[in-house]
């Protein structure tokens, strides 16, 4: 009777062990796939960031632009900052700006192209201004001169808002996600390009806001995670083998 009960119990535990090990192997393989995709992304971004800037595509081509192919492409343009309310976007640190590793805000301003179309410019980083707009307000006013400015920057696309993203504070014109389309709608900037320009240069004389070149230093721990999952799969199988061996009659 005991032998009869033992076989289904061992078979059930064996099935559970195999399912658990398979899940761990699947997670390990997924991490390897993510690692390969991350390396492809890093290679693509490195190539785009190192390329010479090209002229900003005309509005007739904007609808064909997409993040997979065009994010971080360097462009140059001439635009005039519009006398409209600016916006701040909080940042706890940037993954592509080594000089913006601490908390602060990005200064978002609307600017008009010579043909009349409107684009949004991320004019640069301002340190520790989430609680005080004074520094940014004074700096941004100096940018709005009514004179066209030659700009070099990177094409960027709106960020997706997460479940835990705080709501914006419209009284202070403070956002927590770089979605320039939502900002433009809220502040009455009118119809704007589907992308925004992450400004590389020129920098204002006082350095506020601070534009700058982007650099790829994305975190890549996927191989470590994959090894961990594969090791867990092996540990589960070894533990099962030890358990089975211990149940054998002496």
Give 50-90 as a DSSP string.
Answer: HSPPEEPPPGGGGGG--HHHHTT-EEEEEEEE-SS--EEEE
Domain presence at residue 50: no
Together in a domain, 225 and 196: no
Are the beta carbons of 226 and 25 closer than 8 angstroms? no
Nearest Cα neighbor of 29 from 185, 233, 214, 237 is 233
Q: What is the DSSP letter of 95?
A: S
| Token pair listed for 68 | 């997979």
pLDDT at res. 121: 97
pLDDT at res. 1: 47
Together in a domain, 196 and 232: no
Nearest Cα neighbor of 68 from 171, 165, 157, 138 is 157
Together in a domain, 234 and 147: no
Domain presence at residue 116: yes
Spatial distance between the Cα atoms of 100 and 98, rounded to a whole number of angstroms: 5
Together in a domain, 81 and 122: yes
Together in a domain, 169 and 226: no
Task: Give the other-Cβ count within 10 Å of 117's Cβ.
Answer: 17
* Burial of 211: CB neighbours in 10 Å, binned 0-12, 13-18, 19+: buried
Q: Which domain holds residue 126?
A: 73-201
CATH number for the domain harbouring residue 135: 2.40.50
Q: Hey, is 154 helix, strand or coil?
A: strand
Together in a domain, 96 and 151: yes
Together in a domain, 18 and 95: no
Domain presence at residue 68: no
| Token pair listed for 206 | 């006082």
Domain presence at residue 60: no
Together in a domain, 77 and 194: yes
Together in a domain, 158 and 231: no
pLDDT at res. 7: 62
Together in a domain, 80 and 197: yes
Domain presence at residue 54: no
State which residues of the chain have pLDDT below 70: 1-8, 129-139, 217-218, 249-250
Together in a domain, 139 and 23: no
Are the beta carbons of 121 and 193 closer than 8 angstroms? no
Domain presence at residue 59: no
Are the beta carbons of 76 and 151 closer than 8 angstroms? yes
pLDDT at res. 51: 86
> What pairs with residue 201 in β-bridges?
152
Are the beta carbons of 119 and 196 closer than 8 angstroms? yes
pLDDT at res. 193: 98
Domain presence at residue 211: no
Spatial distance between the Cα atoms of 152 and 190, rounded to a whole number of angstroms: 23
In total, how many domains does the chain have?
A: 2
Domain presence at residue 66: no
Q: Hey, is 134 helix, strand or coil?
A: helix
Q: What's the whole-model pTM score?
A: 0.72
Together in a domain, 146 and 191: yes
Give the burial string for 47-86 (b: 16+ CB within 10 Å, else e).
ebbeeebeebbeeeeeeebeeeebbbbbbbbebebbebeb
Nearest Cα neighbor of 120 from 171, 167, 68, 156 is 156
């Amino acid at each position: 009777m005991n032998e009869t009960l033992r076989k289904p119990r061992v078979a059930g535990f064996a099935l559970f062990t195999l399912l658990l090990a398979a899940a761990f192997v699947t997670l390990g393989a997924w991490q390897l796939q993510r690692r390969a995709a991350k390396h492809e992304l890093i290679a693509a971004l490195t190539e785009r960031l190192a390329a010479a800037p090209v002229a900003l595509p005309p509005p007739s081509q904007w609808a064909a632009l997409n993040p997979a192919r065009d994010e971080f492409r360097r462009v140059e343009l001439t635009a005039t900052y519009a006398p409209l309310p600016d916006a701040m976007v909080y940042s706890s640190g940037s993954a592509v700006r080594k000089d913006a590793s601490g908390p602060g805000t990005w200064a978002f301003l609307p600017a008009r192209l010579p043909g009349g179309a409107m684009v949004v410019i991320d004019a640069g980083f301002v340190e520790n201004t989430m609680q005080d707009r004074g520094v940014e307000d004074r700096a941004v006013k100096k940018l709005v001169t009514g004179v066209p400015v030659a700009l070099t920057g990177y094409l960027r696309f709106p960020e997706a808002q997460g479940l835990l993203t705080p709501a914006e504070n419209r009284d202070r014109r403070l956002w927590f996600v770089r979605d320039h389309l939502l900002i433009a709608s809220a502040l009455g900037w009118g119809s704007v390009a589907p992308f925004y320009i992450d400004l590389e240069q020129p920098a204002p004389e006082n350095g506020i806001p601070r534009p700058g070149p982007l650099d790829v230093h994305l975190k890549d721990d996927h191989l470590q995670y994959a090894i961990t999952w594969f090791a867990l799969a092996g540990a589960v199988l070894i533990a099962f083998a030890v358990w089975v061996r211990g149940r054998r009659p002496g």
